[in-house]
Structures are given as C-alpha cells and as structure tokens.
Structure 1
Amino acid sequence: MDMQAVKARALDHLMTEGKTLGMGHSAQPESMYDNPQAYPQMFPWLFPYGMGGFENENIVGHKRKLLLYHDKRFQTDVYFPIVAFNHAQMKSSSTSSFLVAKRAKFPDIADRLLGLNLPVLSSISERMIEGEIVKPVTQDEKDCFDVLTDVDSVAGKVQGSLTSKKFMRNEIWALTSFMGAPTWFITLSPADIAHPLCLYYAGSDMKFSPDVLSHDARYLRISSNPIAAARFFDYIVKAFIKHVLGVDSGHPGIYGETGAYYGTVEQ
C-alpha cells in the first residue's frame, strides 16, 4: 500500500467515525540519546506494550534484530527502517565528526576562523544548499572560501559521508600502488524482483518453496520490504566474492587466483 492509499484509508476511517488513538505531545522534543521509550512512543503499533526500546549499548545490533523479527512488521513499516538508519547516521556524525587542519597552518586558520563574517558565511551556506554555484566576490567571501579550502571535515565513520568516500579512494590508491592496476572491473546488479531467494526473504513462509508470481506481485512484495532486498544484495555479493572470485573458499576463482579485491556499493 503506497502513501496515497494509506492517506485515503486514514481519511475514510476518520470520516466514517472510526476509532482513533490519541497521542500526547510534550512541549519539549524527546531526546534520542539514552531514551529507551523514544521508539515505543514513536511507533506504538510496533511496540504495543510500550516495551522493547533500545536500552543496551549495542543499539545497532538491537535494531538489526528488530528488522529480522519473525512477523516482519519492522521490515515492512513505512517509517521505522529509515528513521532507525537516520538516527544512526546522526549519532555517528555527532560523535565521530571533527575539523582538521594542517599543523603548519593551524595558528593562521584559527585567527581567520575567529575573524570570519558570520552572516556572510551563513549566506554562502544557504546558497550552496539551494544548489547555487557560489563564487567569492567580496573580501569577506574570499576569507570564508580560504577557510573552507584549508579545513576538512572528518566523518570517516559515517556511512555515505564525503569523508568516508575520500578514505575509500585513498584505500583504492594504496591497494593499486601495492598490488598494481586491477585486471578486472566487475559491476553487479542483482535482480531482486526476479530471484526466488529475495522473494522468500520478503515473504512470510517458513519453508523455502518458490512460487511463480506475476511481475506485479513480485514488484509489490519486494518494494514493500527494503530489508529483504538489502539482505539479498548482501548475500549475492558475498557469494560472488567467495565462489566466483575464490576468496576464502579453498579453490581458485573462475578468473584464476585472486590476489586482492576492493568493492564499493553505489550510493
């Protein structure tokens, strides 16, 4: 059921005097840090008894367990997977991000940071966010761009961040320098809606029994369960590395002995 259908169903339920669940709102927003009740309050239909929030230190592992829950209600919820992922991104960026600068330039950069025109910096930031190609014209704008050039934001532990991609490029260059230029460039694009394993991951059957479904039925099942598609992609890539490339398999790959490999996921 897409969002338009959900809204239409909700409106019909409201107009026909269907029962509703009243949710209280506080004047202050809830914190997502050290707050076991945050997720039960956000998703009462997933935590019907108000229990099961994130109380332990391994929050990522807890979220993974919920996303593999047997009835798949966490997998197929419209908001839970993306909210859980976004919270993980925000926590990583707030605890793992910092600014770095070259040691020789540090005193000069510190002085220039203190002397920046903040309204000009805010204006540049807003124009960049809107997609405008900003070129410095005034001296204040040039000072801001000089600092942006000399200072780098390090968020290597944040998945998908620009810094994490920069780290990956450095690893690729280092591997190429050590092992030589790669022999093969391989692109994988597993067809999840056409593979029985992905359909099994997205279904509710306990026993693997492939069924012949129509294209629309397969598309609907996979599109409503992104976790199943992600599990399928992970399985196919790991199987390719082990059985096709022969890594940690005890036998050569179909392309011969694999000296090294490096894989990335398109974002």
Structure 2
Amino acid sequence: MLPPPVEDLDDVLAILFTGPCKPTEEEFKRSPVLVRRHAIRAALEWLILNHSDYADVKISAKNLAEYPETSPIVSVVYRERGSDKISEATSIHDTGEGDGVESGECPFVVHGLTGEQMGTNTVEALKGMAMEHWNSGGMALRVGQHNKMESIYNNPDLYPQMFPWLFPYGLGGVGSTSLSDDLHKKHLLMYHDKRFQTDLAFPFAAFSHRQIKAAATGGYLAVDSKNFDDITDRLLSVNQDVLGDIAKRMAQGEVVKPVTEDEKACFQVIRDLDHVGGKVDGSVSSKKYMRNEIWSLVANQGAPSWYITLSPSDMSHPICLYFADEKETFQPLIRGYDERFRLIAKNPVAAARFFDFMVKLFIKHVLGFGTDHAGIYGETSAYYGTVEQQGRLTLHLHLLLWIRNGLTPEEARKAIMDPDSPFQQQLVRYLEAAHQGEFCTGSMDDVDAALTVAAEDPTYQNPTLTLPEAPPEKCTDSCKSCERCEIWIPGGLGLGSL
C-alpha cells in the first residue's frame, strides 16, 4: 500500500537546517522535500501500469490526504551556524558570507555527518575509541525496512526497485547486461539526459555499494582457507581485558606499542581489520596505505621538491558548465552567477568530470609528465596526488612533486645558509614575491577601489567572466614574411615563443 502513513516517515527521515536564523514559512516552501499530492498519485498510477514491480500496489487515498503540501512532511531540526564555510579553508580576504543563490529553487546537498573529534584524533585514537565503545556495550545504528535483506550481488532488480523514477519501466538495472558493475554505473552516470547525475541519492548508493563489495572482497581474501583457522583463533582467544586497556589508552591519544603476547595478539587483530579496510576507497585504512606509499616514494626519490594545491575554477569555466548543462551543443557562453552556482550544485558528477579533465591536463602539460618536454618546475621524476572535497561537493588536488636532479634538503640548507650564494638571493626574491597576503599591484583596499572605478566604464569586462581571444590562423603559404608568419615563427616574439 502506497504512499506509507505520514507518521512512519519520521522513523527514517529528518531535515536539518543550518544557518544564522531559523527557517521561515517562506523558506519551507522552497524546501525540496515538499509533497504535491496530485503528482504522487499520477506517478503511482503510471508505475502500476508500466513498472512490473508495482503491478500489485494499491493507492491509499487516506494516507495521501494526510501529506501536507506547504511544509515538510517530517521533523525539522535547526542548528545555529554563522556560515556554511569551513574556517580553516577560507582565504585571508574571505568575507565569510555563505555560498548560495539569492532566488529560485534551493540546491539540496546530501553530506555525511561525522563527529568533531574525527578531524583532531589520530587513526589509532579513533580505533581505540571505537573498541572502547563496542566493548562497553555501546549501540550502533542499523536502518532496515524489510525482514528479508536485498542482495547487492547479481540482483538486476535492485536499482529499478530503489529508484523507480530513474528506471520507470523496471528495466536496465545494474547486472542486467554483460557490463561489469563499475562500467554499468559509469554508463548510467553518462546517460544523455543526466538524470542519474542530478539525482540526490543514486551516486551515493552506487558508491556505497562499491565500498561494501570492496570490504567483502577484502574480508574474503583475509580469511581464505590457509588463514581462516589463524584468524578465527585470534578472534576467539583475544584477551578482552587487554583489548579494553589498549582501547582506553589509544582513546586518550597515547602511542601504544605491543610488549606482551596478549598485546601483540590484539594488534594483530587490528592489522587484520586494516587489511580489509585498505581495500575500501575513502576508509581510514586506505588513507594510511596512501601515507605508506608517500613514505615509500620519499625513500626512493628523496624529499619532494614542491607541494602543490590545485583548485580548478569549476563555477566559471565554460567546459564545466557544459558538462553540467543539458544542452547537447557546446556554446562558450558565460552565465550569470546564480545560474552557474545552481548548475554546479545540482550536478557534482559534472564538477568531478571537469576536475579529472583539468588535472590530467595539468600533469601532462604543466608538469610535463609523459611528454617529450620538461615541466615548468623542471623535469618531473615522480608525483603523488590526493583529492579532497571542499564543502560544496567540488574537488581540489593536493600534490607532492619530485624534480629530477633537484637539490636535497641538506644541499638546499647549505646554499641557503651561504650569504654569498646566488641561490639564497634568488630564493629570497622568490619568497618575497610569492608569499604575501596582498596583490602585486597594491593592497586589498587599493585593488578594490581600482576595480570600482574600472567597473564604471561601460566597456569594462570582468576578466574572470571573459573568454580568451582565439589565436590568429596560420599562413597557408608559409611565406615567412607576412604578419601571420611573424606571429607563428618559433622563437619569434609571437605565439611560437610561448
């Protein structure tokens, strides 16, 4: 019977508002979780006729009449917050004003919630807190809806049943073709009408299932036939008192080293868990494995030469906006701020595609990796990059770069300490030019005042919203004497020298 009674929804869903003040009735009307009863009925009637899994569904007019149309259907929780920005990630000149649109529909973003201590404690401390919580009888949250669990393996009906609005005929679910699960999900995310990209839950569910399968595979590999007896014996014979003591000490931030045989057995259990978690993207163990890979590169290549942070301008770039838009023909147009913000906020897949595109170009052309020319930092011998989400679901890159035949830390130290070294003088000039909290043309106030004056000119164009001019065409005759040839001659004063 659908839809379910309205009181049942409070058990599985709640809405959290954050901001400087409580939401008003007008803001409730912009909420993306309002119910239009006639649309719900029309959708159910269509699914009953066309979707095989809805053939035996009955529509409850009584339940449908209980759904309000002007306010959220579930509990609303408010938490006061001055800004939607992370203070550690803002620049010195950031005004602190929240990102968002001033009018129109409100972009709705789903975030995972973690405790504040997640960012301040070490991995070992978090494991200790988790063990202490579990061994002391702490509770865990489990969300279930049916007495029979649905399998995520070889179940082509799973996604059509979860997302009937994406699979309206109940066909085309993951596993229904010869494609692998990852390729099928990528195919769906690249579907021409982009409904899978802009759906709030599909990318989240697809990635979560991938993590579950990776954890199951890691567990299977860890307890294969030759290791099964050893692991089961460890789990059954581990000293709970010693485990509790280790958990308590780790939770307090103490660096614990195993000494006794019981402590060594407890740490082996932790290593077994790391082996499983290391296969799961985004897990704490996978991050630890990444750190180990970086240390291996340091041991092989020496200290890195550069630490680079790259944050492509997704909200202003025409390519990213094209990825996010539903238009089939690319048109290099600069949109208004609200339109750009709304397009990117509704389609994090487009922002991820653009980020991947820009990072590959950066590695190839700027770092010179895999090409026949050196990068702008020198000849690249190795690099290691990690990707981080920056609050609005778009991405930025942190990268360590090793330069071939670069100075070692000891060589750099000697060159810096030598007062007559040209290296010291050049480095000081570079640092004074690059490491400053102001613009090259003056203070923040000076630049802001100059911008205000320039904007009064009717012909002024914002450089961040202006497309570059197309390069001139090459001379078809290669006469080497015309104006076009002078621009394109390599080593000249034109494009050939860039």
Same fold (TM over 0.5): yes
Pairs within 5 Å for 1:1-267: 5-8=31-34, 10=35, 13-14=36-37, 18-21=41-44, 27-55=147-175, 56=178, 58-97=180-219, 113-116=235-238, 133=251, 147-151=265-269, 152=271, 153=273, 154=275, 155-266=277-388
Letter in 2 for 1:43: F
How many equivalent pairs are there? 246
Report the 3-state secondary structure (helix = DSSP H, G, I; strand = E; otherwise coil) of the residue aligned with 2:192: coil
- The Cα of 1:44 is off from its aligned counterpart by 1.2
- The Cα of 1:191 is off from its aligned counterpart by 2.1
8 Å CA contact 1:190–1:233 kept in 2: the answer is: yes
8 Å CA contact 1:113–1:147 kept in 2: the answer is: no
Q: Distance in 1 between matches of 2:280 and 2:29?
A: 29
Q: Aligned pair in 2 of structure 1 residues 183, 191: CA closer, same or farther (>3 Å)? A: same
Q: Aligned pair in 2 of structure 1 residues 238, 27: CA closer, same or farther (>3 Å)? A: same
Identity of aligned residues (%): 49
8 Å CA contact 2:242–2:263 kept in 1: the answer is: no
Q: Distance in 2 between matches of 1:193 and 1:170?
A: 34
8 Å CA contact 2:374–2:380 kept in 1: the answer is: yes
Q: Aligned pair in 2 of structure 1 residues 177, 27: CA closer, same or farther (>3 Å)? A: closer
Q: Report the RMSD for the aligned CA atoms in angstroms.
A: 3.6
Report the 3-state secondary structure (helix = DSSP H, G, I; strand = E; otherwise coil) of the residue aligned with 2:326: coil
- The Cα of 1:29 is off from its aligned counterpart by 3.1
- The Cα of 1:211 is off from its aligned counterpart by 2.1
8 Å CA contact 2:367–2:380 kept in 1: the answer is: yes
Cα deviation 1:8-47 (Å, max 9, x = unaligned): 2x2xx22798535175596523211110111111111111
8 Å CA contact 2:197–2:349 kept in 1: the answer is: yes
Report the 3-state secondary structure (helix = DSSP H, G, I; strand = E; otherwise coil) of the residue aligned with 1:47: coil
Moved over 6 A (4+): 117-121, 143-146
Letter in 2 for 1:94: A
Q: Distance in 2 between matches of 1:17 and 1:266?
A: 38
- The Cα of 1:249 is off from its aligned counterpart by 2.2
Select the structure that is richer in strand. 2
Letter in 2 for 1:7: V
Q: Distance in 2 between matches of 1:198 and 1:87?
A: 27
Select the structure that is richer in helix. 1
The match for 1:140 is: none
The match for 2:460 is: none
8 Å CA contact 2:238–2:266 kept in 1: the answer is: no
Letter in 2 for 1:177: A
Q: Which has the higher contact order (CA 8 A, sep 6+)?
A: 1
Runs of at least 5 residues in structure 1 that lack an aligned partner in the other structure: 101-105, 137-142
The structure that has the greater radius of gyration is 2
Q: Distance in 2 between matches of 1:33 and 1:161?
A: 22
Q: Aligned pair in 2 of structure 1 residues 224, 120: CA closer, same or farther (>3 Å)? A: farther
Q: Aligned pair in 2 of structure 1 residues 116, 96: CA closer, same or farther (>3 Å)? A: closer
Q: Aligned pair in 2 of structure 1 residues 179, 51: CA closer, same or farther (>3 Å)? A: same
8 Å CA contact 1:37–1:53 kept in 2: the answer is: yes
8 Å CA contact 2:239–2:266 kept in 1: the answer is: no
Q: Distance in 2 between matches of 1:186 and 1:148?
A: 39
Runs of at least 5 residues in structure 2 that lack an aligned partner in the other structure: 1-27, 49-53, 58-144, 224-228, 255-260, 390-498
Q: Aligned pair in 2 of structure 1 residues 170, 134: CA closer, same or farther (>3 Å)? A: closer
TM-score normalised by structure 2 residue count: 0.44
TM-score normalised by structure 1 residue count: 0.78
